[in-house]
Amino acid sequence: MKTENIALGGMTCAACAKRIEKAVGKLEGVNQATVNFATERLSVAYNEKQLSFNSIQDTIVKIGYQVIENKKNNVDEDRLRKEKEIRTLWIKFTISAIFGIPLLYVAMVPMVSWLPFPIPAFMEPMQYPLIYALIELLLTIPIVAAGYKFYIVGFKSLLQKSPNMDSLIAIGTSAAILYSIYNIYQISMGELMAVDHLYFETAGVIITLILLGKSLEAVSKGKTSEAIKKLMGLAPKTATIIRDGKEMEIAIDMVTIGDIIIVKPGEKIPVDGVVTEGHTAIDESMLTGESIPVDKKSGDAVYAASLNKNGSIRFKATKVGGDTALAQIIKLVEDAQNSKAPIAQMADIVSGYFVPIVCIIALAAGIAWLIGTGSLEFALTIFISVLVIACPCALGLATPTAIMVSTGKGAENGILIKGGEALETAHKIQTIVFDKTGTITEGRPEVTDMVTINGISEDRLLQITASAEKASEHPLGEAIVQGAQKRNLELLKINDFESITGMGIQAEIEGEQALIGNRKLMENRNISLISLKQESDRLASEGKTPMYVALNGNIAGIIAVADVVKKSSKRAIEKLHKMGIEVAMITGDNKKTAAAIAKQVGIDRVLAEVMPQDKSDEVKKLQAEGKKVAMVGDGINDAPALAQADIGIAIGSGTDVAMESADIVLMRSDLMDVPTAINLSRKTIRNIKENLFWAFGYNTAGIPIAAGVLYLFGGPLLNPIFAAAAMSLSSVSVLANALRLKRFKA
């Protein structure tokens, strides 16, 4: 099964999106077809053996829409295309406004006495009705020309039995124009009072207002995808590489894996790689959202589009093109923006049936008022108002625009949300399960405490121990060596090093016999630990591993080593508790150590002594309690649990397997991003619900008012011009509400 994302052109409303989905979905071999009206893209999963990509494109073109060529680096083309579309819409609106304002004025002057400028005598409707009517017609023609697409697309869709928003506008304004032209004929035949029944201004102003709405909508839609455009524009266009001993500047597309690339201060890293020479600090905020530059030296990884701050480096290219971290992030965000949240399904269903139902309501209301009043003009007003006010655009934009803004905002903060479904599910989470090692803790042991007796100093104890452990390969020994390096302690020369399996080591250092290891080693050598019992018990209760150090047969002290808790862990868990979320920790450690870590950070439930392969079963048990569960992890052994959870959240410093299995990826490895992601989901879903409420509410209230229900009970009658303004504003208001998410703070 292959999935393609196709850029579309020519869509005007949610009904268009539904029509494309329907047409492509019917093709044999298509598994799923989803159109995102806000991004104007079709995501289609199909069987290549049954169906060709060209057949899908042909189907789209056949039903009246365009397929826009997809290019690898199409950010500039896409931006130019959008800018051209916005510019064209503004020109059309300007033309229609230039003629629409005088048209409205000419139509209103005979009815409103307080207007300041009377029309010229030769245009007086009572004196020269034919001239007056023809001038209105002449003013209307350029407006209709500016909005010609409404008629071409609208009537074409109508003939193909799939009416859309353009069909509503085309039918309504055409009815007004044709009726007015009929009245011009009546005037020319001597029926001078027919001048009172001209509706040119209604059609002209409706088109003008809708073009204004479309222009504002295009500008707003452009803003919703700013984050992805910003990401796509980050990568440099060229790279300076060394080939045949010479420096040369080449296009980024020409860089290959293994090339040695030079980056000077102030330049961007062109592709992913590993530093081979030099030392610098690199701003990786585009990747992680973290503003503090990261020190880089030989052997460290660097990423495309990050900014080299102060040193010159050379690095070896390891990932290029679509394989770079930036390219993967862009793909994740694009996929998320093109996806649909389950909450959008209801709006999609309504949008699909909406336009035909509106046409029926408009026709029924018009006929009913014609029978009831006997006035064709009144019935026409009702008919046009219902057609014009009812537009499914707001419904179609309600969900995707909010998803576009929030996924983009998440990416800016180092939170990659893989789709609309993940975004929607995250707000329902009741329990979050954290893996311990590398997630709550740093994932590497560190020296945490030192206890000395018999007059030895901490530095001396650490210096002797680190000198002995330098020859050891044990992870705890490495932690002690690093602890000595942090204190700038010089390591001493050792003699007669011996590793004692399962217990520790012994060595001669500057004439002293050092014995370093666990309780069992000390007991085997008859070294008394009574004086340190209380301290060793305390350290063990805190989840730390005490390593005993004896010199010349006497105990000298304890160095405690532990996998320390991340600074952000406790704050993140406190924040989750305030949000009403239960927090659990899962680990393979013994219950005592796990309980100690849990106590430090405020964990509610501890799932200890869990084998890696059993983690997903523990998630299942929590789900069996009826809870929506999120799993946060970083390792290969977390992948099954991440996939099993309702939402899998991977720490960005973790493995590719974990990140593939997750629904949300935290690029900064900061646990404070977990509550941020949940909060972003909550705010987005609230925004979507607001959008849907206003979109449904607008149409639910607007159609009956336009149909004259209030007028029936002595209330006002909705003028078609106000109906057009309301329709345009409904889409713009939904977009404006979605854009409020851009103010989201982590």
Q: Which of 717, 721, 691 is nearest to 704 (CA)?
A: 717
The catalytically annotated residue of 166, 272, 435, 670 is 435
Residue 436 in tokens? 């311990």
Residues 6+ apart with CB under 8 A from 740: 687
The tokens of 26 are what?
A: 């019917």
Contact 462, 569 (CB under 8 A): no
- For residue 16, give both structure tokens: 């268009």
Amino acid symbol at 600? Q
> Within 13 Å of residue 680, how many CA atoms lie on the same side as its CB?
31
**CA 480, CA 470: separation in Å to the nearest integer?**
9
Measure the CA–CA gap between 630 and 127, rounded to whole angstroms: 78
- Per-run averaged pLDDT (10 residues), the chain, 746 residues: 84 80 90 82 88 90 82 59 86 94 83 67 82 93 93 85 80 88 89 83 86 80 65 79 88 90 91 92 74 83 87 91 78 68 69 79 92 89 84 71 84 82 89 87 85 90 90 79 90 86 85 88 90 87 85 91 86 94 86 83 88 85 92 78 88 60 81 92 90 80 87 84 76 83 82
Mind giving me the DSSP string for 348-362? HHHHHHHHHHHHHHH
Distance CA 671, CA 659 (A): 15
Residue whose entry in the numeric block shows the structure tokens 């530093």: 275
Side chain identity, residue 577: H
Give the pLDDT of residue 388: 79
Q: Which candidate, 292, 437, 336, 344, places its Cα nearest to that of 680?
A: 336
Residue 569 neighbours by CB under 8 Å, 6+ apart: 440, 441, 601, 671
Give the helix ranges, DSSP H, for 160-199: 165-188
Determine the pLDDT at residue 226: 66
In eight-state DSSP terms, residue 436 is I
- Which residues sit opposite 384 in a β-bridge? none
Give residue 478's Cα distance to chain centre: 41
pLDDT at residue 634, rounded to an integer: 77
Question: Long-range contacts: 355-360, Cβ < 8 Å, 24+?
Answer: 355/15, 355/163, 355/164, 355/165, 355/167, 355/168, 355/390, 355/392, 356/163, 358/168, 358/386, 358/387, 358/390, 358/703, 359/163, 359/167, 359/168, 359/171, 359/387
SS3 labels along 127-139? CCHHHHHHHHHHH
Strands (E), 614-737: 629-633, 647-651, 664-666
Query: 392-412 b/e with 16+ CB inside 10 Å = b?
Result: bbbbbbbbbbbbbbbbbbbbb
Beta 41-46 vs 494-500: how paired, if at all?
A: unpaired
Count CB atoms within 10 A of the CB of residue 378.
17
Where are the strands (E) in 664-739, listed by range?
664-666
Indicate if 670 belongs to the active site. Answer: no
Contact between residue 700 and residue 374 where contact means Cβ atoms under 8 Å apart: no
CA torsion through residues 285, 287, 289, 292, sign: negative
Torsion over CA of 288, 291, 292 and 298, rounded to 10 degrees?
A: 40
